[in-house]
Structure 1
């Protein structure tokens, strides 16, 4: 009879296969493989990727300093036993890191050829200054930083492989930010959230496709980012002096985004775009724009509404329009403007979906709804959500002229 022998086939697999298996597991589970046998005691410390999140720490630990000490135990084991490269490190658990520990760990990661470094939200009274060695890490492809101070070393020559850069609660000067972004030749995704200290945002990035900004700036320039296809700007602009306003901001900032496909803007930024004369339409049509999302638009503001209509008139292929409404009152100038638009005979021949959320039931809001329904011949769905009280009555909506025979109107209330 054939003898049955216990063969440890898994332990004898090539390391790249084992690494693939262990990396796909939560780090805590990968570490538990150390109890399998002597061979497995330190295999987990040799992984090519480390993601430290809440699942790595005991659930009863709430003290942020103690949580960091537990994280340091993991880091210490890795530093003692690791051989080979570390391609990805992600810190995604709320803790209070010791800056010296974090600096030494980043130094270790750069020596290991790190490609993706992600530092998400942690607790720190004082911002952590990034070690200069990070900026001599040419293979970085993804960099996400939180609560850091960024100052480039004199030897910085750029990140030739960096495709994604996300900065949150980071302190960085306008000049440093411009140099950093401008020296990432393959950068495709840029996110800037709650940035500290910059006054002017200038983007020079020929390959950039996706941009999200939620921060304060005095001014913004996007004219050197020709491939931008998705832009989300929730910019809180520091008010400009009259002598600083040289041209219409709508034309200067948005008019250069001729390849844009999806555009999200907030009310604070609409105020900035409305500085100076707002044209009926932009000099260059936004032919690729298929989705427009405007947040907290005020239908009592004639300038907000002018910006809205300038964008609509400049987007002949728009398919989806999403609007959330800020607190509004009746406004005669806006009502007169909307009625004048009805006489111009402008039509939206590609618009299929309209969502208007948070209306207050004011006359300008109702006039806008009438305008869209009367000038959108292929409209399929309009969703209207009222902020308070009863939803818009069916009888009122039935009386509104519709250019589309097939449009379905959904009326809701919050």
Structure 2
């Protein structure tokens, strides 16, 4: 009895004064553990939200009132208000909004800064915002503007922490820079609508951009104003894209790892120089309208000469405007290491000349072989060396059933001694593929070839 009474009392005592395991678990579960984290950790968590949403967390409680001030990524868009708002009110709200954010910001560093503007703002304010994030060691800057604006050189091209710079200024933008610029951390440079001018008072201005870790360089509708030459020192640069630029300066790319070169312009490209040993690259040349045909072919030959040691080569050109000028290719070197060749919109004459210069070719992709403007059809009589020993796979894409395309297909099937696979494709027009197939039915293949046909409806 006594012991039973003691047991009962003890049990009752535990029930009244001590929570059960289930109660403890429930209380732990209800506890706001996130609010107890250090400020900088909460700030890091809020960084994954859009800036506007991060700021809204200040309404949660007094503890969260200033947590957003520790975010390290800033994103601002002036289209977040309803379109019914008057323009001037939108602009005033946007400027005040950004100013308040920078005023309260406590982050020691900034990772990303993104700015999207549909309205026109004072260039001084925009430069102030960029200067603020540059002083905090910003790594990535993206500025998009539908309207024109001017960006000062300082601090954009002095920020050594900068890894990615994207300036897409649809309305045009002027930036003044010195004759030498060096950014030690920049890996991506993507510019649209920028006009560069130089501080130098010398008439013949020679600019040097030293970007030791740059991997991607893209410019579209950009101008180097009154500049004689531009040298880009980027030893590990992999991709170059130049589109619709208006510069007449000689642009030299000093690199040894280039994988893709894309030139899209309506002017002569003779001034672009690649000073490099290139193992693998894509060269795309397109949209040459109303230009000096001879200069364009000279430029093509220069690019091919530079790439003489490449193993993979993709050539894309609007050959319609250069047909009849193929004799300029006579001076190109032999591609002794070329294994993979991809050609877009190529005439039969150009195709044959390139094959005769590629003795080790293994894979060939032809996307649209065009009839020459010459009265005489291309004579596929000389068999390239690669047909006898190395060419194993040929692909015809977007066939149109023209005479040159058909002649070359027969030439390949009859003379490629080690060919293993040949394929034909066309987009939407199944009857074109069927006609092409019928015309090839009587061809005697030189080896056991797997023939594939397919029509894409994408």
TM-score bucket (shorter structure): 0.7 to 0.9
Alpha-carbon separation, structure 2, partners of 1:273 and 1:68 = 56
Match of 1:77 in 2: 100
The higher relative CO (CA closer than 8 Å, separation ≥ 6) is in 1
- Cross-structure match for 2:247: 198
CA distance in 1, matches of 2:255, 2:33: 50
- Alignment partners' CA distance in 2, 1:380 and 1:176: 55
* Superposition deviation, residue 103 in structure 1: 2.1
CA distance in 2 between counterparts of 1:272 and 1:400 reads 29
On the 8 A contact 1:250/1:307 being kept in 2, the answer is: no
Contact 2:430 2:455 survives alignment (8 Å):
no
Deviation at 1:220, TM superposition (A): 3.8
Maintained 8 Å contact 2:177/2:197 = no
After superposition, what is the alpha-carbon deviation per residue over 1:253-292, rounded to whole angstroms, capped at 9, x for unaligned? 2221234635342216983995762128x42426255352
Cα distance in 2, alignment partners of residues 192 and 183 from structure 1: 17
Q: Provide the rounded CA distance (Å) in 2 between the counterparts of 1:249 and 1:272.
A: 15
Matched residue SS, 2:401: coil
Matches of 2:159 and 2:262 in 1, distance apart?
25
SS of the residue corresponding to residue 34 of structure 2 reads coil
Report deviation, 1:153: 2.9
**Is 1:89–1:118's contact at 8 Å kept on the other side of the alignment?**
yes
Task: Name the residue aligned to 2:118.
Answer: 95
Identify the residue that residue 8 of structure 1 maps to in structure 2.
32
Question: Residue 368 of structure 1 corresponds to which residue in structure 2?
Answer: 408
Structure 1: gaps spanning 5 or more residues: 300-304
Q: Cα RMSD between the aligned structures? A: 4.1
**Larger fraction in strand:** 2
1:140 to 162, 173, 182: 162
Contact 2:400/2:432, CA 8 A, preserved across alignment: no
The gaps in structure 2 that reach 5 residues or longer are: 1-17, 224-245
Match of 1:302 in 2: none
Of 166, 177, 185, which aligns to 2:212? 185
Given candidates 399, 403, 414, the residue that maps to 2:442 is 399
1:382 aligns with 2:423: yes
* Counterpart Cα distance in 2 of 1:31 and 1:321: 53
Deviation at 1:39? Answer: 2.9
> Is 2:47 aligned against 1:23?
yes
Task: Give the Å deviation of 1:79.
Answer: 0.8
Task: State the TM-score, normalized to the length of structure 1.
Answer: 0.76
Contact 2:163 2:188 in 1 (8 A): yes
What does 1:15-414 correspond to in 2, within 5 Å? 17-52=41-76, 57-58=80-81, 71-83=94-106, 84-91=108-115, 93=116, 95-100=118-123, 101-120=125-144, 122-124=145-147, 126=148, 128-147=150-169, 148-154=172-178, 156-172=180-196, 179=207, 182-196=209-223, 197-206=246-255, 209=258, 210-218=260-268, 219-227=270-278, 229-236=280-287, 239-240=291-292, 248-257=298-307, 258-259=309-310, 261-267=312-318, 271=322, 277-279=328-330, 282-285=332-335, 287=337, 290=340, 292-294=342-344, 297=345, 299=347, 305-315=348-358, 316-319=360-363, 321-324=365-368, 332-333=375-376, 335-337=377-379, 339-341=380-382, 343-344=383-384, 346-347=386-387, 349-352=390-393, 354-357=395-398, 359-374=399-414, 377-380=418-421, 382-385=423-426, 390-393=431-434, 394-402=437-445, 403-411=447-455
User: Quick check: 1:361–1:386 contact (8 Å CA) kept in 2?
Assistant: no
Distance 1:76 1:183, change over 3 A: same
Choose 1 or 2 for highest CA Rg. Answer: 2
1:177 and 1:401 mapped to 2: Cα distance? Answer: 63
- What TM-score do the two structures reach when normalised by structure 2? 0.70
C-alpha spacing 1:156/1:201, structure 2 compared with 1 (3 Å) = closer
> Could you report, residue by residue, the CA deviation over 1:194-226 in whole angstroms, capped at 9, with x for unpaired residues?
334302452233255344333344314333133
